[in-house]
């Protein structure tokens, strides 16, 4: 008895990251794409006839498949390529592609600082017996490097399918907390110093694992800031998974990734003097 | 110069869903697992030697691999199985497994209502020329069925890898908005009626696609509630992806899934009289 | 050089809760209201002339002011009252009021369970020396009672303005974790038992504070479940602040509240045998 | 039968913002404070005796009360002041104060860009009849100025208590979408230009309201970028409410604010050529 009115179908939150390899420096794109189509799909709604319903999984794959060649900083251009691709299909009447690009600030030739969730933190504990502690820290410091990190030589068992990688993209959201003994005279200047050391160490030092990277950052801080007695890092490994394009008859150039929010590698360590 | 203190590594937010097939009715589990290990991994931190660092990707795979046989409503039992598995490895000294289970309320033999984000909504618009509208709706109504939904017969192109499925798990978070003409005398009773019709239609009617399911729900509502002039559904397809266990030498029983938050199929339709 | 096109102004996320006092039982409303207006406000945009711009703060106050008399389960009726109120003003041309109501499930005559964020939790820790622990718990169990809780007799200083209350609305999101010694044979049945005891104690026992309520819940659990060695509660006090209507020339009936997400009272306790 | 173990009480997510007025430029602090206390409060748990339970509302007020004099960029110093204040009370045995400071990047003498949620957006729509549109935009661009905005001369009714303000703190999270006709040759350069114009207009032009500010930003963009046919702004007013310290016998210096997430003023406008 009803009459089909406006309708559309598509895929939302298709997250794609891409490294644009350069001779001297890399560029990095990090986007979320939404594809919405309309077309001659009344029969799909009313009769369950899917012969004109392009699967939303195909839309997702198309985004990755075309990203390798076409995703640049011209987001509108990539949107047009996608629209034109989908409109080639007879039953599609309109296509809408929306792209949201996260902004990463360049820090080095292959290093970027992302997002804006960074916060300076402090904790003071005191008790009536004269005890207590003063700590400072940072959280939400999102860093990513396109080179300079590896993970190989690990043990394998029947559940291990991870390939060995000598050079991989590494991203994490640094949470660090350090204990002052004694409290420095200028806590703001010290905080800026420590943050800078953490950032420089992450981008400047090659690491064999997240654990190794954490150790190197801790060492750098302890060497340079005598007021810090110990430092704790929490370093979630924010995975950017290589997307396999060979399934679509394309060659993998190793530049297109699928960033995932969950699960994440969960690495923590404390380093003391 | 530093000394390695407390440290651990692991995988967080490993999301697993599982259908426990029964003769008369299915049970459904939906958990997020965290695995954290400690062990003899000083060399990994200090020297970048990964020979004892079980990859966190392996931990994730292990959770899926053991879930097929061992995940039941005895969460503590599944936690013990995982701990014992990881402790078999020489270099591991302790294992901690935390599990958080989302609660789903049974609605039918194979249907469940989840989460608690459900809200009743209403919108009144009026203007000085006497125009306006009164609508009501629901959002965050999370529903899942383990049978009674298919998706096949769709067009294929070079980017299509989705298998045809005659019986699949279907989950969505229903947002519905309907326009009253005229406004019913008892808006609360009418809302309860419509919500019940939507739920009954979702669980009671086989569908060939999300679009088809939306149409069937709309038809049911329009047939039974004369005060409703049109109804709009937004039906994100909350994918539970079959997890391929054959990579680990296991047989796929078709019961273990990977629920993903993003991307999601994005389906919308309006049905009028 | 520009021309003003579509425009509107209003207030979003105006959160209101209301107790509908009854002889035998109370009803409870918990809504978020959005008011959006359009009208003759070109001069406000172009010339900065605010003479027709009803402040959004006034819209917010109006929602609270009219809620005391008009907010019932007829959300559409309350929306109409608000639209008609705003349209009385000459410069307003249209009003749109959207209301989203959180659903609370009645548990007792004055007690409700809300939201759907509840999760069953479990944690297993094992080490190679044979040590370890098994705990279970719940998080996101949102409970609210309209009577049966007080807070008075507390110390006062120059920063204390909180009134003494002998009967107040109390809401919290219970997180509980308990340690099993030994692990019960049926962990699911034991979990259901503990959850029921926590709920019954919260709704059934009068408390002088959140701390007192937590103690009473812990006592109940320890008395009835011998396998539990200790239990820890985290009980954020989710404040519903009485909204002062006397500022608008109205009498406070003590039924209209402003639920706030932050800050929240942060109460934690462990009870052992 | 139970024995009270570890316990603490306090207030979490006490959000405070503060303007540090300077001759040439202002500084701005934006923190969330958590206070947790332990002490001799067994009787509060077991007997409901609140005589030693400092209310968490008092802790909150204390944070605001002491912020006016003591909150600087030395977060650890402010934490110590708070700890020492609470430890003066006999029954308190330990105090823990944690502070998280959002980072704002200075843009002008009184203007700041905050958070890191900023995203570049693009939308391409095409249909088979040759129609379509290309738009670009920004969302999550959080801006705040400590001077240069007013709101006065508005209509008053029985629900109006908002004071007239000739100079106020103004903060918003800009969402802007503009339509290209034609699409510029270099979409990235054009995007950077438009973003810069929006930012410069917000910080550089005095406004009588959010609506007025939006109009001024739109005018600036339309004047300078001929490829833009129309622009739409969504400008939620992110309120920083002056916190009234006179209730504690302190003088209001007009520097301490309570930032609130909800409700928010909800302003939208489109400007065309």
d(CA A215, CA A206): 12
**Signed CA dihedral, A73, A77, A81, A86: sign only:** positive
d(CA A273, CA B7): 15
A15 in a domain, yes or no?
Answer: yes
Same structural domain, A228 and A95: no
- Both structure tokens of B235: 């039906």
Q: How far is B119 from chain A (nearest CA, A)?
A: 23
d(CA C164, CA B212): 58
Contact C102, B115 (CB under 8 A): no
A79 in a domain, yes or no?
Answer: yes
Same structural domain, D127 and D257: yes
d(CA C23, CA C147): 13
Contact C217, C271 (CB under 8 A): no
3-state secondary structure of A228: strand
Instruction: Say whether the peptide bond before residue A263 is cis (omega within 30 degrees of 0).
Output: yes
Q: Do B265 and A9 touch (CB under 8 A)?
A: yes
**Nearest residue to C26 (alpha-carbon basis) of C112, C114, C100:** C112
Tens-place pLDDT, residues C76-88 = 999 999 999 999 9
Q: How far is A67 from chain B (nearest CA, A)?
A: 13
Q: Do B13 and A222 touch (CB under 8 A)?
A: no
Residues of D with Cβ-Cβ distance to C62 under 8 angstroms: 159
B42 pLDDT exceeds 70? Answer: yes
Of the candidates D86, D102, D118, which is a domain's last residue? D102
Same structural domain, A241 and A110: yes
d(CA C158, CA D148): 35
Instruction: Please tell me the predicted confidence (pLDDT) of residue A116.
Output: 66
Same structural domain, B87 and B138: no
A218 pLDDT exceeds 80? Answer: yes
Q: Do C272 and D237 touch (CB under 8 A)?
A: no
**Nearest residue to A18 (alpha-carbon basis) of A113, A122, A144, A121:** A144
Examine the predicted complex and report whether its ipTM is higher than 0.85.
yes
Q: How far is D87 from chain A (nearest CA, A)?
A: 7
d(CA B233, CA B255): 29
Of the candidates B80, B102, B124, which is a domain's last residue? B102
Catalytic residue among C11, C85, C145, C240: C11
User: Do chains C and B have 3 or more beta-carbon pairs under 8 angstroms?
Assistant: yes
**Nearest residue to B139 (alpha-carbon basis) of B181, B191, B184:** B191
Q: A223 falls in which pLDDT band (50, 70, 90)? A: very high
Least confident stretch, B128-132, B243-247, C116-120, C218-222: C116-120
Same structural domain, D124 and D86: no
d(CA A16, CA A62): 11
- Higher-confidence position of D221 and D90: D221
Same structural domain, D112 and D86: no
C15 pLDDT exceeds 70? Answer: yes
Alpha-carbon radius of gyration of chain C: 24
Q: How many angstroms from the chain centroid is the CA of residue B198?
A: 19
Task: State what percent of residues in chain C have pLDDT above 70.
Answer: 99
Adjacent-strand bridge partners of C257:
C17, C242
Residues of C with Cβ-Cβ distance to D207 under 8 angstroms: 48
Active site (annotated) includes residue D11: yes
Q: Record the pTM.
A: 0.89
Q: Do A128 and D87 touch (CB under 8 A)?
A: yes
Instruction: Please tell me the predicted confidence (pLDDT) of residue C105.
Output: 86
**Nearest residue to B18 (alpha-carbon basis) of B174, B241, B249, B265:** B241
Return the H-helix or E-strand segment holding D120: strand D119-127
Nearest CA in chain B to C30: B119
What average pLDDT score do residues B80-91 get?
A: 93
Instruction: List chains adjacent to chain A, taking adjacency as at least 3 C-beta pairs closer than 8 Å.
Output: B, D
C1 in a domain, yes or no?
Answer: no
Instruction: Please tell me the predicted confidence (pLDDT) of residue B104.
Output: 87
Q: How many Cβ atoms from other residues are within 10 Å of residue D246's Cβ? A: 8
Contact A28, A20 (CB under 8 A): yes
Give me the residue from D48, D62, D152 closest to C209, CB to CB: D48
Instruction: Please tell me the predicted confidence (pLDDT) of residue C13.
Output: 92
C4 in a domain, yes or no?
Answer: no
Q: Do C84 and B126 touch (CB under 8 A)?
A: yes
Non-local CB neighbours of B149 within 8 Å, separated by 6+ positions: B167, B168, B169, B170, B206, B207, B213
Tens-place pLDDT, residues B109-156 = 999 888 667 889 999 999 999 899 999 999 999 999 998 999 999 999
Residues of A with Cβ-Cβ distance to D127 under 8 angstroms: 87, 93-95
Can you give the residue range of the structural domain that contains A24?
9-102
Alpha-carbon radius of gyration of chain B: 24
d(CA D129, CA A93): 8
- Which DSSP letter does residue C162 get? P
d(CA B28, CA D217): 53
What is the largest distance, in Å, between two alpha-carbon atoms of chain C? 79
C1 pLDDT exceeds 80? Answer: no
d(CA C55, CA B188): 32
Residues of B with Cβ-Cβ distance to A269 under 8 angstroms: 4-7, 45
d(CA C248, CA C241): 17
Same structural domain, D120 and D232: yes
Give me the residue from C34, C153, C161 closest to D247, CB to CB: C161
Give me the residue from B4, B50, B268 closest to A269, CB to CB: B4
Instruction: Please tell me the predicted confidence (pLDDT) of residue C115.
Output: 67
Torsion, Cα of C174, B108, B212, B121 (10° steps): -40
Instruction: Please tell me the predicted confidence (pLDDT) of residue A126.
Output: 93
What average pLDDT score do residues D230-252 get?
A: 93
C235 in a domain, yes or no?
Answer: yes
Nearest CA in chain A to B262: A13
Q: Do C99 and B122 touch (CB under 8 A)?
A: yes
What CATH number should be reported for the domain holding residue D86?
A: 3.30.1130.10
C3 in a domain, yes or no?
Answer: no
Q: B225 falls in which pLDDT band (50, 70, 90)? A: very high
In the block, tokens 């229903």 appear at: B174
A170 pLDDT exceeds 90? Answer: yes
Phi, psi (degrees; rounded to nearest 5) at D217: -65, -45
Instruction: Please tell me the predicted confidence (pLDDT) of residue D116.
Output: 66
Same structural domain, B182 and B131: yes
Phi, psi (degrees; rounded to nearest 5) at C247: -65, -20
Q: Do B160 and A9 touch (CB under 8 A)?
A: no
- Which DSSP letter does residue A250 get? P
Residues of D with Cβ-Cβ distance to A117 under 8 angstroms: 115-117
Q: How far is C77 from chain D (nearest CA, A)?
A: 20
Residues of C with Cβ-Cβ distance to B40 under 8 angstroms: none
A3 in a domain, yes or no?
Answer: no
Q: Do A136 and D84 touch (CB under 8 A)?
A: no
- Which DSSP letter does residue C246 get? G
- Name the domain count of chain C: 2
- Both structure tokens of C33: 């209201």
Residues of A with Cβ-Cβ distance to B13 under 8 angstroms: 261-264
Contact B254, B67 (CB under 8 A): no
**Nearest residue to D104 (alpha-carbon basis) of D238, D262, D242, D263:** D238
Residues of A marked active site are found at 11, 56, 239
Report the length, in residues, of chain A: 273
Report the length, in residues, of chain D: 273
Q: D61 falls in which pLDDT band (50, 70, 90)? A: very high
Instruction: Please tell me the predicted confidence (pLDDT) of residue C203.
Output: 93
Tens-place pLDDT, residues D195-220 = 999 999 999 999 999 999 999 999 99
Q: Do B125 and C100 touch (CB under 8 A)?
A: no
d(CA A9, CA B30): 27
Same structural domain, A15 and A97: yes
Q: Helices A210-224 and A187-204: crossing angle, nearest 10°?
A: 140
Number of H helices, E strands in chain C: 5, 12
- Both structure tokens of D215: 């109009």
What average pLDDT score do residues C152-163 get?
A: 91
Same structural domain, C57 and C111: no
Q: How many CB pairs under 8 A join C and D?
A: 256
Q: Do D120 and A183 touch (CB under 8 A)?
A: no
Q: Do C266 and D1 touch (CB under 8 A)?
A: no
Q: How far is C43 from chain D (nearest CA, A)?
A: 9
- Both structure tokens of C269: 């306790």
d(CA C228, CA C246): 50
d(CA C90, CA D157): 13
Instruction: Please tell me the predicted confidence (pLDDT) of residue A115.
Output: 67
Instruction: Please tell me the predicted confidence (pLDDT) of residue B115.
Output: 67
Q: Which residue of B69, B87, B159, B165 to mutate against A (max A Cβ within 10 Å)?
A: B159
Q: How many CB pairs under 8 A join A and B?
A: 260
Torsion, Cα of D204, D213, C55, C15 (10° steps): -90
Catalytic residue among B172, B239, B240, B255: B239
Instruction: Please tell me the predicted confidence (pLDDT) of residue A105.
Output: 87
Q: How far is CA A257 from CA A208, B130, B238, B258, in A?
A: 21, 54, 22, 19
What is the largest distance, in Å, between two alpha-carbon atoms of chain B? 79
Contact D8, C268 (CB under 8 A): yes
Return the H-helix or E-strand segment holding A225: none
What average pLDDT score do residues C149-168 get?
A: 91
- Which DSSP letter does residue D248 get? G
What CATH number should be reported for the domain holding residue C225?
A: 3.10.270.10
Instruction: List chains adjacent to chain C, taking adjacency as at least 3 C-beta pairs closer than 8 Å.
Output: B, D
**Nearest residue to A134 (alpha-carbon basis) of A214, A268, A230:** A230
Give me the residue from C114, C119, C134 closest to B100, CB to CB: C119
Q: How far is D66 from chain C (nearest CA, A)?
A: 10
Tens-place pLDDT, residues A123-152 = 999 999 989 999 999 999 999 999 999 999
Q: Do A160 and B48 touch (CB under 8 A)?
A: no
Q: B211 falls in which pLDDT band (50, 70, 90)? A: very high
Q: How many CB pairs under 8 A join B and C?
A: 151
Give me the residue from C77, C124, C180 closest to B83, CB to CB: C124
Tell me whether residue B47 is exposed, middle or buried, using C-beta atoms within 10 angstroms of its C-beta: 0 to 12, 13 to 18, 19 or more. Answer: exposed
Contact C240, C270 (CB under 8 A): no
Tens-place pLDDT, residues C180-234 = 999 999 999 999 999 999 999 999 999 999 999 999 999 999 999 999 999 999 9
3-state secondary structure of C178: strand
Q: How many angstroms from the chain centroid is the CA of residue A156?
A: 26
- Which DSSP letter does residue A64 get? H
Instruction: Please tell me the predicted confidence (pLDDT) of residue B116.
Output: 66
Instruction: Please tell me the predicted confidence (pLDDT) of residue C118.
Output: 87
Q: Do B61 and A272 touch (CB under 8 A)?
A: no
Tell me whether residue B166 is exposed, middle or buried, using C-beta atoms within 10 angstroms of its C-beta: 0 to 12, 13 to 18, 19 or more. Answer: exposed
Instruction: Please tell me the predicted confidence (pLDDT) of residue C130.
Output: 87
d(CA C63, CA C224): 46
Instruction: List chains adjacent to chain D, taking adjacency as at least 3 C-beta pairs closer than 8 Å.
Output: A, C
A162 in a domain, yes or no?
Answer: yes
Q: Do D123 and A73 touch (CB under 8 A)?
A: no
Same structural domain, D47 and D95: yes
Of the candidates B102, B132, B165, which is a domain's last residue? B102
Tens-place pLDDT, residues A55-92 = 999 999 999 999 999 999 999 999 999 999 999 998 99
Residues of C with Cβ-Cβ distance to D32 under 8 angstroms: 262
Same structural domain, A121 and A239: yes
What average pLDDT score do residues D161-174 get?
A: 92
d(CA D195, CA B266): 30
- Which DSSP letter does residue B167 get? S
C262 pLDDT exceeds 90? Answer: no
């Amino acid at each position: 008895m009803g009459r089909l009115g406006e309708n559309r179908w598509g895929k939302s939150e298709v997250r794609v990251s891409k490294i644009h390899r350069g001779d001297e420096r890399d560029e990095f794109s990090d986007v979320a794409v939404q594809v919405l189509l309309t077309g001659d799909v009344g029969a799909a709604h009313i009769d369950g006839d899917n012969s004109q319903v392009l699967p939303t999984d195909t839309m997702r794959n198309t985004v990755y498949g075309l990203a390798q060649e076409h995703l640049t900083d011209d987001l509108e251009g990539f949107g047009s390529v996608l629209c034109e691709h989908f409109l080639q299909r007879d039953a599609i009447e309109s296509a809408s592609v929306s792209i949201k690009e996260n902004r990463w600030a360049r820090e080095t030739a292959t290093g970027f600082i992302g997002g804006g969730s960074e916060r300076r933190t402090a904790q003071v504990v005191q008790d009536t017996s004269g005890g207590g502690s003063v700590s400072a820290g940072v959280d939400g410091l999102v860093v990513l490097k396109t080179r300079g990190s590896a993970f190989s030589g690990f043990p394998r068992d029947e559940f291990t399918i991870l390939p060995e990688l000598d050079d991989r993209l590494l991203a994490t959201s640094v949470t660090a907390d350090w204990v002052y003994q004694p409290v420095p005279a200028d806590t703001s200047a010290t905080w800026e110093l420590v943050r800078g050391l953490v950032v420089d160490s992450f981008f400047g030092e090659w690491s064999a694992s997240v654990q190794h990277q954490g150790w190197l950052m801790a060492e750098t801080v302890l060497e340079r800031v005598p007021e810090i007695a110990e430092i704790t890092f929490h370093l979630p490994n924010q995975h950017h998974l290589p997307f396999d394009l060979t399934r679509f008859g394309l060659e993998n150039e190793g530049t297109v990734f699928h960033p995932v929010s969950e699960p994440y590698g969960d690495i923590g360590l404390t380093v003391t003097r």
